[in-house]
Amino acid sequence: MDRSLDRKKVILGLSGGVDSTTAALLLLEKGYQVTGLYFDVEQPENKEGAAAARRAAEQLGIPFLYRNIHEVFEKTVIHNFCQEYQCGRTPNPCVVCNPAVKFRTLIEAADREGAFYIATGHYARTTRHARLGWSIRKGESEKKDQSYMLYRLSSSIIERLLLPLGILHSKEEARAAAREKNLFNADQKDSQEICFLPEGETYADYLLKRGVNPKPGNFIDKDGHILGQHQGLVRYTIGQRKGLGITFGKPVFVIRMDPENNTITLGDNEDLFSREVICGNSFFPNSASGQLPDFLENAEVTAKIRYAAKPASARLHTLPDGRISAVFDEKQRAATPGQSIVFYYGDCVAGGGFIE
């Protein structure tokens, strides 16, 4: 790492929303020299988003940078998003974007500008853990905690990352800080879950627009008997009950999706529960090989099988093929292929992988 980088300088991802603006405000109050960076994932440019970010920078009195990253975002995030749905999986685009696009762009900008630190408005913290090294730590607010989304960040990025909102106990604290400084976005509504979806558009609509054509196939039961016809794998996800277009006089759920045979298996709610969850393409920030560190082998951790899930106790094992098995104390409902399972050692992110 370049030792000439200035530890008082910070490049902050500035979206123009209240979270990133308040993060900048808190850093300024601590004496950092903050530059706001707006990365535009759209082509042509998102004039409204860029204008909001520029206005926030002007109100804060900080320099402003604009980067259009449409091309790399398209290749890395959008392509993966479409491909995963075509394969009957349910992706989380933020998990892919953060290490490969968002934080890489911030680090590159920081290196160019001579800044040691980068920052974002995520509700999480960083720490140097005795066994894990530089790690993402849960935010103070259990409700807003976004550590799950950051599990694939490397230790070299975490070392340079400032997350000022991690100490806040609620979103309202961020809004209150913004109101105190009369910032224009203090009461702005929360942004939508998937940033690249036009407002009011469903993910299925978006996929159709991107040329992903759903191929109808069969609903089947656990014994392989045909129950009816589905409208394409991209329209369904594990655990789904509503919108199936088929009735049985009792609740039925999507319990399996088979892209090879283009079938969707329907079953009872109890069929969705399992104690073991297996993940591939695992990532552990301080493991050179990317594999489970020795001290976590057969160790008890807590794990989340989706962003909104409650952490649950589990033990980790490396399978002969290199995948990770998490065996939970209590059965988990609807572990969904394509989503991430994230492992916590105490309140620190130890790593995770994509559910298979």
CATH number of this structure's domain 214-267: 2.30.30.280
Contact, 21 vs 44, CB < 8 A? Answer: no
Selected from 3.90.79.10, 3.40.50.620, 3.40.50.300, 3.30.43.10, the CATH number assigned to the domain covering 7-180 reads 3.40.50.620
Residue pLDDT, tens place only, 101-132: 999 999 999 999 999 999 999 999 999 999 99
Question: pTM (2 decimals)?
Answer: 0.95
Q: Which two tokens stand for residue 12?
A: 């902050």
* Averaged pLDDT, 55-69: 98
Structure token pair of residue 64: 């402003």
In whole angstroms, give the CA distance from residue 282 to residue 273.
Answer: 22
- Enclosing H/E stretch for 175: helix 171-180
- What is residue 198's predicted lDDT score, i.e. its pLDDT? 85
- Among 2.40.30.10, 3.40.50.800, 3.30.110.40, 3.40.30.10, name the CATH number for the domain at 272-355: 2.40.30.10
3-state secondary structure of 39: strand
Cβ atoms within 10 Å of 315's Cβ, excluding its own: 16
How is the chain split into domains, by residue range? Answer: 7-180, 214-267, 272-355
pLDDT for 18 equals: 96
Residue 100 to residue 95: CA distance in whole angstroms: 9
- 294-348 residue pLDDT tens: 999 999 999 999 999 999 999 999 999 999 999 999 999 999 999 999 999 999 9
**Could you give the percent of the chain with pLDDT greater than 90?**
88
Taking only the tens place, the pLDDT of each residue in 190-227 is: 877 788 888 888 888 899 999 998 999 999 999 999 99
CB atoms within 10 A of CB 328: 18
Write out the H or E segment, with its range, that includes residue 117. Answer: strand 115-119
33 band by pLDDT with thresholds 50, 70 and 90 = very high
pLDDT, one tens digit per residue, over 34-59 is 999 999 999 888 889 999 999 999 99
Distances (CA, A) of 80 to 85, 170, 318, 354: 9, 32, 26, 13
Known binding-site residue numbers for ATP: 13-20, 39, 121
Determine the pLDDT at residue 2. 61
Q: What are 257-308's pLDDT values in tens digits? A: 999 999 999 999 999 999 999 999 999 998 877 789 999 999 999 999 999 9
Helix (H) or strand (E) holding 129: strand 124-129
Residues taking part in catalysis: 97, 195
